[in-house]
Amino acid sequence: MLFVVYLTLCIFLLHSALLMASREIMILVIFLAATGICAFFVCLFKRFNTKVLLKTVGNSLVLSAEKKGILPAANMKLRLDFTYDQTGEGSTMMTGFTLPAGKTEMAIPVRLPFAGSGTFVVAKCTVSDWFGFFSIPVKGAKGTSVPVDIYPPAMDVDLYVEGNRLTGTASDHAQTTEHKGDDPSETLEIRELRDGDPVSRIHWKLTAKRDEYMFREFARESDAQFLFVLELKERTQEHFDKVLTNYYALASRLVADEIPHAVLWADGEGDLHQEYVSEPSDLENAMVLVMHTYDEYRSGKTEKTAEMPRFSPFDGSVILEEYEERERSSSFVRKFTITADPLEELQRRWMADEE
């Protein structure tokens, strides 16, 4: 719009200069034209000498923009498209900034409505001249993407757990650290992924750093006494967010009180996944595993259709029955289903079960 005004002004002044044969107006026209030409070439120069990168730190998206030369890259505008891996639901973020000389980074707080994993993609990135006459796309910026895991917010909950460290002494089961097993509270080794290894044991953080799939070999036993069952049977990001938020709140409290537990969930094919949690790092890894169990849209090739399967074909009770049938026996003192009900309702149900 500003360019249209600028061009109209130049044409009007040029017409006036020719009509009145005014030398002063002609000089003004030449000056304005030269200014516009210089602004265009500066903008064009910045298009090829500005590089935009994305990375994530926690729940923040960090924009790293690097340019060459001493001139600032003014009025840069960025449009980001975000797509959830679980459902394909998405949102758009817009931001604008001016990039000074050298290299700068700016953290953009990720304000997405729901928890889950997803991918940010640069849909548009432009750089303008100082006056705003021209706006040109930054070369190579469009299509730049970065995956991100959005965790639920921390919430305080009150839990009463009889017979463990909240009210007494927890019973300790012996841990076997010399043989392979199912207890991630004790890692025997971390190695490259082999054929036949379960996906649920992929070490996602190390995989991202080394750019190859890394597998965690666990010990045989665990002292976990509690089993949380995630009921993820409704394919909406809101439902997924509520279940994850409830589990994260309850699990964080147990971890803070050094009470180990296990979490169990089923994928869209009905296969069961289990993870043991005893430390904050275990909880973080469990959250990542749950998110990435349903990352159907990460490749960007899966289209959202009405025929897409639900997160899980089972509700919590069926998952638990399937688990007990598979394991034949269970050493867990207590099993608790995490639903999408309000957290206060889950706390009330927990207290009722304790009584």
- 34 and 113 fall within a common domain: no
Q: Is residue 54 part of a domain?
A: yes
Q: Is residue 106 part of a domain?
A: yes
Rg (CA), the chain: 28
- 133 and 249 fall within a common domain: no
Is the pLDDT assigned to residue 227 strictly greater than 80?
A: yes
- Which pLDDT score is estimated for 209? 64
Q: Is residue 190 part of a domain?
A: no
Query: For the chain, what is the mean pLDDT?
Result: 75
- 340 and 287 fall within a common domain: yes
- 40 and 136 fall within a common domain: no
- Which pLDDT score is estimated for 249? 92
Grade residue 214 by pLDDT with cuts at 50, 70 and 90.
confident
- 340 and 237 fall within a common domain: yes
**CATH code, domain carrying 58:** 2.60.40.10
Residue scoring higher pLDDT (227 or 176)? 227
Grade residue 238 by pLDDT with cuts at 50, 70 and 90.
very high
Is the pLDDT assigned to residue 118 strictly greater than 90?
A: no
In the chain, the DSSP E strands lie at: 50-57, 60-67, 73-84, 90-99, 103-109, 116-128, 135-137, 145-150, 183-192, 214-219, 226-230, 261-266, 272-277, 334-338
The Cα 315–Cα 331 span in angstroms is 22
- 35 and 56 fall within a common domain: no
Q: Residues 305-335: pLDDT tens digits? A: 545 556 787 888 888 888 877 766 566 768 8
Among 150, 165, 193, residue at a domain's last position: 150
The Cα 45–Cα 64 span in angstroms is 19
Q: Is residue 180 part of a domain?
A: no
- 226 and 282 fall within a common domain: yes
Q: Is residue 282 part of a domain?
A: yes
Among 103, 130, 150, residue at a domain's last position: 150
Among 283, 255, 275, 262, smallest CA distance to 165 is for 255
- 233 and 347 fall within a common domain: yes
- 244 and 348 fall within a common domain: yes
Among 130, 173, 146, 152, smallest CA distance to 52 is for 146
- Which pLDDT score is estimated for 166? 40
Q: Is residue 168 part of a domain?
A: no
Q: How many domains does the chain have?
A: 3
Burial grade of 132 (CB within 10 A; 0-12, 13-18, 19 or more) = middle
Residue scoring higher pLDDT (141 or 306)? 141
Q: Is residue 216 part of a domain?
A: no
Per the confidence metrics, is the pTM higher than 0.75? no
Percent of the chain past pLDDT 70, that is, above it, reads 71
DSSP 8-state class, residue 300? S
Q: Is residue 240 part of a domain?
A: yes
Q: Residues 57-99: pLDDT tens digits? A: 766 777 776 666 655 556 778 888 988 988 888 888 887 777 6
- Which pLDDT score is estimated for 164? 44
Q: Residues 146-196: pLDDT tens digits? A: 888 888 888 878 776 654 444 333 333 333 333 344 544 455 566 777 777
Domain hosting residue 244, numbered range? 222-354
**CATH code, domain carrying 303:** 3.40.50
Q: How many alpha carbons fall within 13 Å on the CB side of residue 25?
A: 14
Distance of CA 187 to the CA centre of its chain: 26
- Which pLDDT score is estimated for 69? 60
- 232 and 341 fall within a common domain: yes
- Which pLDDT score is estimated for 309? 56
276-278-279-281 Cα dihedral, nearest 10 degrees: 0
Q: Residues 23-57: pLDDT tens digits? A: 777 888 788 777 777 777 777 766 766 777 787 77
The Cα 217–Cα 188 span in angstroms is 5
Cβ atoms of 68 and 51 within 8 Å: the answer is no
Among 150, 180, 203, residue at a domain's last position: 150
- 231 and 342 fall within a common domain: yes
Q: Mean pLDDT throughout 251-262?
A: 88
First to last CA, the chain: 69
Q: How many alpha carbons fall within 13 Å on the CB side of residue 70?
A: 0
- 23 and 115 fall within a common domain: no
